[in-house]
Copies of this chain bind each other. A is one copy, B any other.
Amino acid sequence: MNISLDKIVAELNKAKSVLIFPHERIDGDALGSSVAICIALRRLGKEAHILIEEELPTNLAFLDEGYCINEYSSDENLDVCLAVDCSDVSRLNNRKDVFLKGKITISLDHHFTNDYFADINYVNPKSAATAEVIYHILKEMDYPIDSKIAEALYAAITTDTGNFQYSNTSKETHLIIADLFDTGMDYNKVAVEIYQNVRPEQVKLVCMALSTMEIFCNGKANIAYVTQDMLKQFNATMDEADGVIEKLRDIRGIEIAIFLKEETNQVKVGLRAKAKADVSVIAYQFGGGGHKKAAGCLIEGTIEDAKKQIKESVQNYLANMKG
């Protein structure tokens, strides 16, 4: 159950120490939201840090001006442990135990699958990003949002909405961004940091992966893959192939895009739908899950094994799809 924002603000105001927990595999919303609230709490005289467990993605690292720490150990219990953008406690991964030691645990999120795992929770599935929730917390705190905080919130919202193009974007999203302009934030600087920061190795990897594309089902589906050998060849990481699946989906006429990532003895399968298909149905057949337009699963074996099985499943799905 949601608690009201003013009660969350009351808890934060009381606290002397707050440790902030963004979800594992940190993204723009998790980090931007965490940074925004961290800045505000510090300026209010509190001890505040963001506890992370991996390196920050390079294009987001500019947001961290000394807020993030990789370890926390103390005998003294923290006043507040604050989970940000986490749908359930498993998303805190290795940091779960530290989180649960907080005198009070709070969760701020926007995932509709959130299971209200903290002592007090505020989840708004209508928010395009958790940053919208943080924005309202800061307003409720009557804390003046400055350009630094605005840039962190902007980074969070622009990444989680696919630059305002995804269907989660709302009127409210644009009104919040309009309000952030009053701080004098340099949103263009944020865009340059996030989007104009691609390694040349990544460009090569993406082109190589795209060159494996095969179109089937009369142009309605396509499939491509990335192998461990390609990563070695270009000195690239698997994460750097992440954008390929959207490029596959963006091709004219494609309704379902499939992208395969080779792992040890198994293949990670990503699925995207453009308009009418529900790819979570296909992922579910292989024990995976996800949303209507974005889902995934694991298939044991080689790229060739996975390709055969997933293509067959997509072919069946499209043959039976109405409209």
| B-chain residues with CB within 8 Å of residue A249 when the two chains form the complex | 196
Q: Which chain A residues in 202-223 approach chain B with CB under 8 Å? A: 203-204, 207, 210-211, 213, 215
CB–CB B198/A250 < 8 A: yes
Are B207's CB and A251's CB within 8 A? no
Closest partner residue, chain B, to A59 (CB atom): B252
A187 within 8 Å of B (CB atoms): yes
A163 with B164, Cβ < 8 A, contacts A171-B178, A174-B178 known:
yes
Contact present for A251 and B188 (CB under 8 Å): no
A158 sits at the interface (CB 8 A):
yes
Bound CA–CA A204/B224 (angstroms):
14
Copies of this chain, complex-wide, total: 2
Is A120 in the interface zone, CB < 8 Å from B?
Answer: no
Interface string of A179-209 (1 = CB under 8 A from B): 0011000011001100111111001100100
With an 8 A cutoff between CB atoms, is A264 at the interface? no
Could you say which of B210, B215, B250 contacts A197, with CB atoms under 8 Å apart?
B250
Instruction: Contact check, A192 vs B274: say whether CB atoms are below 8 A apart.
Output: yes
Asked, given contacts A163-B163, A164-B164, whether A250 binds B169 with beta carbons under 8 Å apart, the answer is no
Which of A158, A171, A175, A252 has most B Cβ within 10 Å? A252
Q: How far is the CB of A214 from chain B (nearest CB, A)?
A: 11
> Judging by beta carbons under 8 Å apart, are A252 and B198 in contact?
yes
> Cα distance A203–B251 when bound, in Å?
8
Contacts of A175 in B (CB 8 A): 174-175, 178
Contact of A247 among B58, B188, B203 (CB under 8 A): B203
A275, closest chain B residue (CB): B192
Interface residue ranges, A against B (CB under 8 Å) = 58, 158, 163-167, 169-172, 174-175, 177-178, 181-182, 187-188, 191-192, 195-200, 203-204, 207, 210-211, 213, 215, 247, 249-252, 254, 274-275
